[in-house]
Amino acid sequence: MGANAVFQYNNEVRVVNKALQARGESIAELLASVSVEPLLLYDDVTLNSHAEFTSKQKDIVFATVVNEEKIPLTHYLDFKNRYISQIKLAEDSVDIQPVVEQLKNNRNILFFETPVIFEGKKLAYAWVGIDRTPYEALARRNMFEIIAVAIAVGLFVGITIILLFKYKIFRPIKILTRGTQDIAEFRFDEQIVIPGQGELAVLADSFNQMRLQLKKTIASRNLVMQELSDLNESLEERVHERTQELQILNSKIAHEAMHDPLTGLPNRVLVTEQLQQTISHSQRTGTSFAVFIMDLNNFKEVNDTLGHPEGDRLLVDVAQRLAEVVRESDTVGRLGGDEFAMVLPDINEADAVKVANKIHEQLLPSFALDDHSIKIGASIGIAMYPIHAEEHTALVRLADVAMYEAKKDKSNICVYKTDFDKYSPLRLSLMDYLQTALDTEQLELHYQPKVSLTENRVTSVEALIRWYHPELGLIFPDQFIPIAENSGLIDKLSDWIMEQAFKQWRQWQDAGIDLQIAINLSARNLSNPDLPEYVAGLCDKYQMHTDGIKTEITESAIMYNPEQVIEIMSDENMQKLRFSIDDFGTGYSSLSYLKRLPVSEVKIDKSFVFDMVNNESDASIVKSVINLVHSFDYSVVAEGVENLETLRMLENLGCDVAQGYLFSKALPVDELIAKIKTIEDRFSANS
């Protein structure tokens, strides 16, 4: 019976230790699993609340999360716990490491450590300490009860054997032996029955009570084990749910990190990654591919005129149109602002240009924004792998250089050439120097004569800006005007040009020289609601009468937002100016708008005039434009006149004014008057 008591005790200790071990590991794993998200988000409050919740569970002495250096990341301790209360530490202390270290070394506390792992990487460790003394005390009590019963029964049996050896001993002993065997084998349902009122009968009753007690104890143990099993299952379900939530969150974070939030297109990071993968693919297969960099024309004017929300709508619409043109294998991304990038695998240069033309055609139809119909062209630069470069950053840079060249030449699409490289560093330098040029009078206006073919004299001049850099020398407008538009200096530059033109007109008037000055206005100027008031101020300042200044507006600038252009041109403060449509024939103007515009002159684009002597199609276009413009009672100016044959043909067609290198290039003001006299003398001699 003593051996049985020891066996029961040892078995009880094993069961209790196993239950404790299972419970401690489950709680530590739970704390580790719920700590992943707060650790990733650096959410100390949530992390500490998890530690507090865990610490308040039954028999939990402490729970904390520590970093790789074993320094606690939480600060909660239950100071009511008898182990913690014995350690001297202020309750408002944040550093709990000294207390935790002492608790770890306490033999009465069972310590558990579980790593906090996210995507295979250890973020921290979850520590949990469980008080083992209640369970050990229970095991000891059970042992003492069993030993006490065993000793009592042993003494009773011994005395009974000595005193009552002859009185019905063997049969009750067999019954008791069978009963104890049932109990030892955890069979508690069969009752031990010994007839009579003797000591063995009483002993049988004691065994029966012990049997019932053990049955209750085992049932209680089984209940605890079932509860632990249910808790463990619940924990596993919660861990599974949390894992799924984290997977969804990670997928969302990964998507947002790789895509533009406005258009949903891949961002610069993902475009770069796709570009690198395409390079690897092309290296394996020996194929070529194209990189496009695309920039929207006049996008800044949309933002400035209609506001950023409408600009964002435009970008979304552009992204949708781009997605309709390219293949599924192509990558279309937004690099930022109005700049887009495209990677087209397995394509040659000729097909890449065809795709670029399709994109250009896709963007030609107007965009409906805020009750406005907006036309927004694009400039596309193309770089080819491996012809132009074999490294991803070089391909993007070269495509950007080609795009800038397309914007500069107004050609919409441009394939990179090595000749473009010389402009790239200059472009970067000019962006720095332009502000200084405005402040230090490096800019000046040159004037190109415009000859009246009906009066045979110079009646007006066109003001053209020139930049004389102290180190770079003469810089022409096509090199720095696009930079001014992109850098936000175009308004300041336009104001300077208008101020200088008005000032020069007044100086000529005071000197008895009657010359009309034509200046150019951009789409951005015409979207500025302050322009009429600024013009009125210049008219008052320089006492300019009607016809002194003429503004030339390109056809594309007018059609960018015709209703707004008509409104600006019709403003009463603009009535002292005269208006001319520049580069006519190159855009998409409507005759209805041409009729409504308060203009007095139309300039035929030089691309039609250059070769009209040898090209019947160009000559026919020029003739048609002259007749059309005259039907509106406007005068016609032909620019790009470079030879006498062209001049004679224009005279025969009824052109009113001619302008070009046949007469003169744009000259500084101190050379202009002498040149005008030479031109008029030549007309007099020919007449």
Residue 588 clears pLDDT 50, i.e. is over it: no
pLDDT-based confidence at residue 349 (cuts at 50, 70, 90): very high
| Residues facing 461 on adjacent strands | 449, 517
pLDDT, one tens digit per residue, over 216-263 is 888 888 888 888 888 888 888 888 888 787 777 766 766 677 888 889
Scored b (16 or more CB within 10 A) or e, 177-192 reads: eebbebbeeeebeeeb
Q: Is the pTM of this model over 0.85?
A: no
Comparing 558 with 292, the larger pLDDT belongs to: 292
| Region(s) of the chain under CATH 3.20.20.450 | 440-686
CB under 8 A, 24+ apart: contacts of 221-224: 221/15, 224/19
Contacts of 16 (CB under 8 A, 6+ apart): 135, 136, 138, 139
Residue 545 clears pLDDT 70, i.e. is over it: yes
Virtual torsion, Cα 627, 628, 629, 630, nearest 10 deg: 50
Residue 472 DSSP class:
T
pLDDT value at position 63?
92
Q: Please calculate the CA angle 597-601-606 and round it to the nearest 5 degrees.
A: 115
- Please identify, in words, the CATH class of the domain defined by 440-686: alpha beta
Residue 99 clears pLDDT 60, i.e. is over it: yes
pLDDT-based confidence at residue 309 (cuts at 50, 70, 90): confident
pLDDT, one tens digit per residue, over 619-637 is 998 999 999 899 989 999 9
pLDDT value at position 426?
61
DSSP helix/strand/coil, 466: strand
CA–CA distance, 624 with 617 (Å, rounded to integer): 11
Angle of helix 349-362 relative to helix 308-325, nearest 10 degrees, comes to 140
| Among 15-29, 236-250, 652-666, the least confident range | 236-250
**Highest mean predicted confidence (pLDDT) among 66-80, 93-107, 172-186, 642-656:** 642-656
Q: Phi then psi for 86, rounded to 5 degrees?
A: -80, -15
Please give the single-letter amino acid code of residue 351: D
Give the helix/strand (H/E) hosting 294. Answer: strand 289-296
CA–CA distance, 210 with 206 (Å, rounded to integer): 6
| Region(s) of the chain under CATH 3.30.70.270 | 268-416
pLDDT, one tens digit per residue, over 418-458 is 777 655 556 666 767 888 888 888 899 999 999 999 999 99
Short-list 108, 99, 113, CA closest to 134: 108
CA–CA distance, 359 with 58 (Å, rounded to integer): 69
Scored b (16 or more CB within 10 A) or e, 265-293 reads: bbbbebbbebbeebbeebeeeeebbbbbb
pLDDT value at position 425?
59
Instruction: Give the mean pLDDT of the chain.
Output: 85
Comparing 649 with 562, the larger pLDDT belongs to: 649
Residue 388 clears pLDDT 80, i.e. is over it: yes
Q: Half-sphere exposure (CA, 13 Å, Cβ side) for 525? A: 24
Comparing 151 with 33, the larger pLDDT belongs to: 33
User: For the residues 485-501, what does the mean pLDDT come to?
Assistant: 84
pLDDT-based confidence at residue 592 (cuts at 50, 70, 90): low
Residue 92 clears pLDDT 60, i.e. is over it: no
- Please identify, in words, the CATH class of the domain defined by 15-135: alpha beta
Question: Which CATH superfamily does the domain covering 268-416 fall into?
Answer: Reverse transcriptase/Diguanylate cyclase domain (3.30.70.270)
| Residues facing 124 on adjacent strands | 116
CA–CA distance, 353 with 344 (Å, rounded to integer): 11
| Region(s) of the chain under CATH 3.30.450.20 | 15-135
User: For the residues 386-403, what does the mean pLDDT come to?
Assistant: 88
Q: What share of the chain is helix, strand, coil (3-state, %, to 5)?
A: 55, 20, 25
CA–CA distance, 232 with 30 (Å, rounded to integer): 9
Contacts of 660 (CB under 8 A, 6+ apart): 606, 609, 638, 639, 640, 641, 642
Residues in the chain: 687
Please give the single-letter amino acid code of residue 506: R
Answer positive or negative: Cα dihedral of 120, 122, 126, 132: positive
pLDDT value at position 414?
93
Contacts of 492 (CB under 8 A, 6+ apart): 438
pLDDT value at position 424?
56
Residue 321 clears pLDDT 70, i.e. is over it: yes
Task: Please state, in angstroms and as integers, the Cα–Cα distance from residue 496 to each residue in 59, 371, 492, following that order.
Answer: 83, 33, 6
Comparing 523 with 312, the larger pLDDT belongs to: 312
Look-up: residue for tokens 């309750």? Answer: 91
Look-up: residue for tokens 């097909």? Answer: 351
**Highest mean predicted confidence (pLDDT) among 193-197, 460-464, 625-629:** 460-464
CA–CA distance, 585 with 447 (Å, rounded to integer): 24
Q: Where would I find the beta strands (DSSP E) of 17-92?
A: 60-66
